[in-house]
Amino acid sequence: MSVDIKVPTLGESVVTATVAKWLKNPGDAVKADEPIVELETDKVSVEVSASTDGVLEAQNVPEGAEVEVGTVLATLKPGKAGAAKPAQAASASAAASAPAQEKALVETAPAKASSTSAEKAPAQAFPAATKLLKEAAISPETIGVGSGKGDRITKGDVLAFIENNGAKPAAPKPAAKSPRTDDPREERVRMTRLRSTIANRLKEAQNTAAILTTFNEVDMSAAMKMRAEFKEVFEKKHGVKLGFMSIFARACVAALYEFPAVNAEIDGQDIIYRPFVNMGIAVGGPNGLVVPVVRDIQDMDYAEIEKSISTLGRKARDGGLKLDELSGGTFSITNGGVYGSLMSTPIINPPQSAILGMHKIQERPVAVNGQVVIRPMMYIALSYDHRIIDGREAVSFLVRIKESVEDPRRLLLSI
């Protein structure tokens, strides 16, 4: 009995993927846990492996097709390769003779063939396309030959038909935008899936949440002094450098426990509060911005936080992040200062309700005890969802972070 190879669960809020590359072809022998196909999600690439030894019977989805969780990607004939190959050959022979038999039926009995074709038409479309055809009340015969493997109809074929042929009543469209004339010196490059997803999610956040940003500034003198004094001993003992991110992370944890709404989430008409903090740390990877999550950061000391951030940052740069390392965040930090940003208004990462923005440390004159002095200052910003977090909470939260970073002893004394 054949075994179906399906699209696995892809992670939080990820429901579709693109078939990036087939690693095995029909007739190839595969071993249990051996990768068969590579999927590209909105966040990372995922390899789907065989569940048992056997021979790959068929590829149900072509490269480049978009698939949903649970879609059958391929079928596998369990057993040893030698025993399964004859059956595979018979299957391939039957598949090869099918078009000839169908052609003969069409030539000898056109009316009957037409009726039979209409009954079997849905089998000529991929699962996602079949679902869309039913929703739009379109017969597969109306579209005809598809662009997928074996002339099967793809989801893209159905969408193109709807757009070009008006299969469903379309809402009035604004005046068409005149085509853009490219300068010959310009280069047009198609947006990657990751970049497209980032764009859509950021716009979704703006359309859904009532985003507001509040600012403050931090005197980094004490934190820089502590770092300079202990960085060599810290690195020698723990094997990782002491950075400012762990200091801000600990300050955020303390503030989040004091103001739990900042760590909460809106779900319909409910508010979900959490007794833990899964902190997302924004990292610039080769394909765009990703936000790996440090789980239960409230239980970590400075060394454990620095090690976790270092490991996740390296994986992000190497493209080795796993799905579970990108999901489940409750609050995020982004540091534009590493790129020289002096001030910005970060956008929250749904379904989270807030994000802290760190920026460049810059020496500037400030008034201290009635005297103008030069201090290393950093602007910090908190963007938050005003639907769940009041202005008083947001401002107080940011002030608490400022106080903790300007005097790290407060974190040790929990004050």
Active site residue ranges = 386, 390
**Residue-level length of the chain:** 415
What CA–CA distance (Å, rounded) separates 50 from 4? 9
DSSP 121-174: GGGGB-HHHHHHHHHHT--HHHH-S-SSGGGPBPHHHHHHHHHHH-SSPPPPPP
What CA–CA distance (Å, rounded) separates 146 from 164? 15
What CA–CA distance (Å, rounded) separates 147 from 151? 6
Q: Give me 69's structure tokens.
A: 């969780």
Cβ-proximal residues to 236 (8 Å cutoff; 6+ apart), any chain = none
Asked if residues 158 and 147 have their Cβ atoms less than 8 Å apart, the reply is: no
Element (H, E) at 52: none
Q: State the CB neighbour count (10 A cutoff) for residue 308.
A: 21
Distance between the two ends of the chain, CA-based, in angstroms?
A: 65
- Helix (H) and strand (E) counts in the chain: 11, 19
CA angle 32, 34, 37 (to 5 degrees): 125
Q: Which residue has the tokens 């009035």?
A: 172
Cβ-proximal residues to 237 (8 Å cutoff; 6+ apart), any chain = 303
Which amino acid appears at position 185 of this protein?
Answer: R
Q: How does strand 293-294 pair with strand 279-281?
A: antiparallel
